[in-house]
Chain A
Amino acid sequence: MNVDLSRRDFLIGAGATVVATSIGAMGFEEAEAAEAAHVRPFKLTTTTETRNTCPYCSVACGVIIYSKGSLGKGEKADIVHIEGDADHPTNRGTLCPKGAALKDFVHAPTRLQYPMHRKPGADRFERMSWEDAFDRIARLMKDDRDANFVAKTPAGLPVNRWTTTGMLAASATTNETAWATFKFAKSLGIVGFDNQARV
């Protein structure tokens, strides 16, 4: 697939050979060779290239993300650059003022890093572990569902409605996340369940 064989990988290999041979062949003097040696390498040369799509509007422009490190190789990957994908039929490499600044979203200072907890009446969030967060949420949900679930109408018709807890899903998540979320919410009987398509 395209992530495995990227254009960049190809250029890295080819480029190194070209530089070495052309300097010799063109008969550069020592000064020029020294000059060439300290020119800063192209900053994307050592990056991993990944195909993605812009997460904002539903034109869904193709983007290429460049990272230091490769997730595919099990490394930590730090995103250093994002640009339009010239091979994409819709945007053909172009991006709008939102898409062009995508890297700032990825690295926004207000990106959340840890689960946080605000106690009733408190004026701040406090750190919480994932385990504690999951346990707490499951407990809160189960207690509310058990107390307020409408299993049947007075006439005995099974209706399975849980109206005292609601959920909003996110229309910027993937279809696969959406399907997992759908299964979760609808099996619990959460009827107050919508996404941004409503508004």
Chain B
Amino acid sequence: MTNSWTDIKNTDLVVVMGGNAAEAHPCGFKWVTEAKAHRGAKLIVVDPRFTRTASVADVYAPIRQGTDIAFLNGLMKYCIDNDKVQWDYVKAFTNAAYIIKDGFGYKDGLFTGYDPEKRDYDKSSWDYVLGDDGFVTADPTLQNPRCVWNLLKAHVAPYTPEMVERICGTPKDKFLKVAEMIAECSSKTKTMTSMYALGWTQHSSGSQNIRGMAMLQLILGNIGVRGGGMNALRGHSNIQGLTDVGLMSHLLTGYLTMPTEKDTDFETYMSTRLFKPLRPGQTSYWQNYRKFMVSFQKAMWGDHAQADNGWAFDYISKLDVPSYDVLRVFEMMAEGKVNGYLCQGFNPLLAFPNREKNTKALSNLKWLVTMDPLDTETARFWENHGDFNPVDTASIQTEVIQLPTTCFAEEEGSLTNSGRWLQWHWAAGSPPGDAKHDTYIIAQIFLRLKALYQKEGGAFPDPVVNLSWEYADPGEPTPEELAREINGRALIDVTDPADATKVAAPAGKQLLNFSQLKDDGSTMCGCWIYSGCFNGEGNNMARRDNHDPDETGAYLGWTFAWPLNRRTLYNRASADLDGKAWDPSRKIIEWDGTKWSGYDVPDIAPNAKPGDIGPFIMNQEGTARLFSRGLMRDGPFPAHMEPFESPVANVFNPQMRGNPVARIFEADLKQLGTSEEFPYAGTSYRLTEHFHFWTKHNRVNSVLQPEFFVEISEELAKEKGISNGGWVRVWSKRGSVKAKAMVTKRIRPLICDGKPVHVVGVPLHWGFTGMARKGFGPNSLAAFVGDANIETPESKAFLVNIEPSTAPKDREGIA
């Protein structure tokens, strides 16, 4: 989230598209209700299903899953055509005026430079024209036909309301109503917030869905302001934290990136991460990358990271592929190329697409270790549960060790919510039986490995035996010790940059925040963006002052938000070129002639004169990008792409299947179905009574929603002779499930390109362990292909067929 949950009360218009906050994030959705009740805010919901969020919306517009880009491009076109643009914002704070190279273009659904063999683009033409001074050339009058604004105008031109209806199945009048309401938010005194979740990310073009809305929000001047922003609702309680701390195959901590084989040494690695400003005088904050990286290496390897060994750069793995994401790893596993797997608090058997492939992959492992508070399906993937897990147990040669861990109520530490608040919590209960903390388990395995390497030697022991592990009890680091490392400390006296005679941080003391980090090895810091969370003032994540001066929703005294306790990202953009709030009633920070101050921590140097320095300080341009250069694999503008399994062909290029640059493995390509064989558009979703696969272990939640079902329209039910509550079989090219049918008015057929498209909704909460009745999930059906930029599986759009059926094996005779 750029903003916070409590900030939603400041909005005039909420657009929930790609999410279902009322059911999946109920207590956060309360702030939408608050805005509606006390500000007169309106709510728009765009979704294939009439969800409970839709039921309290002012306008609901149906949409076919996987066509959001067409809808969003249509909205941008509407705003541009009708002069509903926050012009001062767009001209000053975005790259609208920048000139793009002549070679760049777009035709038949593809951008310049496409190579169908490599399934990749040559992106060299997707860039700015640089002047002799090395800076980007711009035409502030927006007259140059090659400026971003005019290219964007041409790019979205085909997305007329008629085209939106043809692709998305959204009736034209509904679309126009939505467009009209959204366009009103181009006013300086009206803001709109975007709330989205997996409904946008779980697509092969998921990243571009989000970009589309981000661009629309920039055109409307809604980024950095109160009640505005791009708000990813996110899933698990610390999914933001685990991303921030870099527990991903392509990341290090704080969005530092893993080196590749091209990064032959530390200086080569740094050379592509210098991030010089592209416009005169801009902040380009990533210029400090070296300070963050050196301090990170010091946190990992202490004295073993020195200037003369490139800060132990050799210790970090160098990738030979863009990422070893879960789809790649499970593909390798299915091919027999993985021997061991550690699975901490994760249930991949049910979470990853193509269940049958997952079972095959796990069966190829020599050993599997699970760590979880609950008895998961993954830990028991080898156990036969009839139709619900039809495996041949004896033939599965995988050794499995299942380790019991504590749950939230039995442990202490911080979780980062979607609003970037790091909230500390305390242990309240004793663990059941002999369950242990994850930190204990990790430490015990690590210490044994270290001892084995010290005793026996082996493959490159250095990064293991030299890993910094300075805890009072090395066998169980405490949350406080780990939090202190994350924050960082001075290794030798760190002097004040303004006055070299003063010591800003004495050796051994916690750093104030990341402004004190150095690139000479004198500081260590586990995760730079979190620095400040546990400094000399103590554990700031444990703060509980809930005062909110003037009720702005900021709550600066409540816990700690990254970065630097800032609650609204890009908040400099809430003020105009003179530093005055666009909307005086929604001031965040203002310029008083000498400095920035206000209700939030300024997202700009406090003395940066307005007019000189742009608000998007992380970008080399200092402005936000309507044109994203070569930074995304599938285009600098979002273009309509169909899901890999779609009931209709791409209207711009009927030959093009899915995202033209998304990676798909040979075996999975063969397992894609066609709309002839599988005519219905399947999608997955959550219910308000359940959280993923955990709550089916709970009595109350299992009573509230006891069993698996699929949801279809009355029209489809009639066509297929399916009765409400009757058994059906739903199957795709990859698997088959049996379920009770829920026939509702919440799903209606959509008319796309002249023909009806029926949607089949498949909720995801059932398996074969726990208290609820045994059932299946959408991952038995979904395709094994991910987003082109980040490899999030396309779990929200796949093709299925459906027919009346009988009960699954152990459910026979049950009504």
Contacts and interface: CB of A to CB of B under 8 A. Distances in A.
A182 interface: yes
A175 B414 contact: yes
Interface size class of B (residues with CB under 8 A): 35 or more
Contact of B399 (A94, A119, A160, A196): A119
12 contacts: A52-B425, A53-B423, A97-B26, A108-B699, A113-B433, A130-B434, A138-B449, A149-B459, A166-B333, A178-B238, A191-B324, A192-B338
Interface in B324-353: 324-326, 328-329, 332-333, 337-346, 348, 351-352
Name the prevailing secondary structure of the A interface residues.
Answer: mixed
Contacts of B382: 118
A27 to B, nearest CB: 42
A175 B401 contact: no
B439 A184 contact: no
B425 A176 contact: no
A151 B317 CA distance: 9
Given A148-B339, A169-B346, A142 B769 contact: no
Interface in A165-196: 165-189, 191-196
A193 B445 contact: no
Interface stretch (B103-111, B207-215, B609-617, B791-799): B791-799
A138 B374 contact: no
Highest count of chain A CB atoms <10 Å: which of B242, B452, B694: B242
A140 B366 CA distance: 9
B393 interface: yes
Interface in A67-113: 67, 69, 71, 76-79, 82, 87-91, 94-102, 104-106, 108-113
B465 to A, nearest CB: 9
Highest count of chain A CB atoms <10 Å: which of B483, B699, B770: B699
Given A142-B449, A176-B413, 20 more contacts: A3-B426, A52-B409, A57-B24, A67-B429, A71-B428, A89-B546, A105-B697, A112-B402, A121-B394, A123-B394, A134-B441, A142-B452, A162-B317, A163-B324, A169-B247, A172-B237, A175-B244, A192-B329, A194-B326, A194-B329
A145 to B, nearest CB: 6
Contacts of A144: 339-340, 366
A174 B426 contact: no
A186 B342 contact: no
A167 B370 CA distance: 10
Contact of B248 (A174, A189, A194): A194
A169 to B, nearest CB: 4
Nearest to A128: B401
B464 A187 contact: yes
Contact of B446 (A159, A167, A184): A184
Nearest to A117: B401
Interface in B179-220: 202
A57 B700 contact: no
A116 to B, nearest CB: 4
Nearest to B451: A138
7 A-B pairs closest in CB distance: A113-B433, A170-B345, A174-B413, A112-B404, A60-B417, A138-B448, A104-B698
B92 to A, nearest CB: 33
Given A71-B427, A184-B446, A189 B409 contact: no
Given A65-B409, A183-B467, A168 B316 contact: no
Interface stretch (B170-178, B228-236, B269-277): B228-236
B689 interface: yes
A153 interface: yes
Contact of A160 (B243, B326, B393, B460): B460
Contacts of B434: 113-115, 130
Contacts of A116: 401-402
